[in-house]
Structure 1
Amino acid sequence: MFNQAQLIAEIQQAADQVQLHSNKATELFKNALIDTVTHTVTPQNTTDIFVATGDIPAMWLRDSTFQVLPYLQLIQTVPQVKTLIQGVLNQQLAYVRHDPYANAFNQTASGAHYTTDSSNIPISDLVWERKFEIDSLCAPLHLAAQLYQTSGTTEHLTPEFWQTVALIMATFIREQHHETSDYVFNRPDCPPSDTLSHEGHGAPIGYTGMVWSGFRPSDDACQYGYLVPGNMYIVVVITELLALIGAENIDQPELVGAMTTLKEQIETGIADFAVVRPTPTADPIWAYEVDGLGHVNLMDDANVPSLLSAPFLGYCSIDEPLYQQTRGFILSPANPYFYAGQFLAGIGSPHTPPHHVWPIALAMVGLTTTNLAAVTAQIDLIAATDNGTLQCHEGVHVDNPAQYTREWFSWANMTYCQLVFHYLALKAKA
Structure 2
Amino acid sequence: MLRLFFIGTALVALAIFNAAAATLPVVRPPVKDRTFQSTAVDNLITTLSPLFANPDLAALFTNCLPNTLDTTVYYHTPASEANSTNLDTFVITGDIEAMWLRDSSNQVLPYIPYATSDPDLQLMLEGLIARQAKSVLIDPFANAFNFKASGQGHQSDTRKPPMGPAVFEGKYEIDSLAAFLKLSYWHWRYSGDAALVRFATSSWLDAVGKLIDTVQKMQRDSGQSPDSPYLFGRVTSEALDTLSVQTRGPPARPHHPKGASQEVWGLTRSLFRPSDDAVTLPYNIPGNAMICVELNHLQELLTHLESQASDSTASQVKSLLQQARLTATGICSSLKDVLHTSGLTESSLPYEIDGFGGQYYMDDANVPSLLSLPVLGYLSSENAAYARTRAAVLSDANPYFFSGTQGKGIGGPHEGVNYTWPMALITQAMTSNDDNEVTWCLDLLVRSSAGTGLMHEAFDVNNVGRYTRSWFAWANGLLGELLLQLIVTKPHLVLVDDAEAVKTAQAAVQVPICLAAQREVLVK
- Give your verdict on TM over 0.5: yes
Matches within 5 A, 1:229-268: 229-250=286-307, 251=314, 252-268=317-333
1:189 pairs with 2:219? no
Of residues 127, 140, 159, the one that matches 1:120 is 159
Asked whether the equivalents of residues 72 and 91 of structure 2 are also in contact (C-alpha less than 8 Å), the reply is: yes
Counterpart contact for 1:376–1:423, Cα < 8 Å:
no
The amino acid across from 2:130 in the alignment is N
1:157 pairs, out of 188, 192, 200, with 200
Q: Is the 8 A contact 2:339 2:385 kept in 1?
A: no
SS at match of 2:235: coil
Would you say the 8 A contact 1:36–1:410 is kept in 2? yes
Residues 293-339 of structure 1 deviation map (CA, whole Å, 9 limit, x = unaligned): 11111011100111111111111222122111111111111011111
Matched with 1:35 is: 67
1:174 is paired with a residue whose SS is: helix
Secondary structure class of the residue paired with 2:232: coil
Shift of 1:79: 3.9
Instruction: Tell me the SS of whatever aligns to 1:346.
Output: strand
Amino acid at match of 1:240: H
Cα 1:118–1:194, aligned 2, differ >3 Å: closer, same or farther? closer
1:220 aligns with 2:267: no
Written as runs of structure 1 = structure 2, the 5 A alignment for 1:10-409 is: 10-19=40-49, 20-45=52-77, 46=82, 47-114=87-154, 117-121=156-160, 122-152=162-192, 153-154=195-196, 155-179=198-222, 180-208=227-255, 209-250=266-307, 251=314, 252-273=317-338, 283-371=346-434, 374-409=437-472
**Number of paired residues?**
424
Alpha-carbon deviation of 1:422?
0.6
Which residue number in structure 2 is paired with residue 410 of structure 1? 473
Output one character per residue of 1:90-148: Cα deviation in whole Å (capped at 9) or x when no partner.
Answer: 1111111110010001111111113x535335421111000000000010110111111
Q: TM-score, normalised by structure 1?
A: 0.93
* Alpha-carbon distance in 2 for matches of 1:326, 1:303: 16
Q: Which secondary structure state, in structure 2, belongs to the residue aligned with residue 7 of structure 1? A: coil
Distance 1:5 1:402, change over 3 A: closer
- Give the counterpart letter for 2:37 in structure 1: L
CA separation of 1:407 and 1:292: change in aligned 2, threshold 3 A: same
**Which 5+ residue runs of structure 2 have no aligned equivalent?**
1-33, 256-265, 308-313, 492-501, 507-524
Q: Distance in 2 between matches of 1:77 and 1:424?
A: 20
Per the TM alignment, residue 81 of structure 1 is displaced from its structure 2 partner at its CA by 2.7
Say whether the 8 Å CA contact 1:274–1:287 is kept in structure 2. Answer: no
Question: Which residue identity is paired with 1:407?
Answer: S
Deviates more, 1:226-235 or 1:152-161: 152-161
In 2: Cα distance, 1:80 partner to 1:319 partner: 39
Cα pair 2:172 2:272 within 8 Å, conserved: yes
Distance in 2 of aligned mates of 1:8 and 1:77: 10
Matched, 1:423 2:455: no
Deviates more, 1:314-323 or 1:218-227: 314-323
- The verdict on how the C-alpha distance between 1:384 and 1:74 changes in structure 2, with shifts beyond 3 A counting, is farther
Q: Distance in 1 between matches of 2:44 and 2:457?
A: 26
Greater C-alpha Rg: 2
C-alpha contact (below 8 Å) 1:287/1:299 kept by paired residues:
yes
Structure-2 separation of matches of 1:422 and 1:101: 33
Deviation track 1:216-265 (CA, whole Å, cap 9, x = no partner) reads 00000010010111100111101111122334544432222211121121
Answer with 365-374 or 194-203: which moved more: 365-374
TM-score using structure 2 length:
0.77
Spell out structure 1 runs of 4+ moving beyond 6 A.
Answer: none
Which one scores higher on RCO, CA 8 angstroms, separation ≥ 6?
2
Deviation at 1:353? 2.1
Counterpart-to-counterpart distance in 1, 2:439 and 2:481 = 13
Helix, strand or coil at the partner of 1:120? strand
Say what the alpha-carbon RMSD is for the aligned residues.
2.2
